Amino acid sequence: MPFNLTFSLGPAAEAGTRAFCFVDESATLVVYADPDCLTIEPPRDPALWPDFAKFLCQLRNAADELAGWLEREPACSGVEQQE
Cα 63 to its chain centre, rounded Å, is: 7
> Is the model's pTM score more than 0.85?
no
- Judged by DSSP in three states, 6 sits in coil
* pLDDT single digits (tens) 12-55: 776 656 667 777 777 888 887 777 788 888 998 999 999 999 99
Q: CA 35, CA 8: separation in Å to the nearest integer?
A: 9
Measured CA to CA, the distance from residue 47 to residue 42 in angstroms comes to 11
Task: Name the 3-class secondary structure at 28.
Answer: strand
- Using 50, 70 and 90 to split pLDDT, how confident is the model at 82? very low
User: Mean of the pLDDT values across residues 60-71?
Assistant: 92
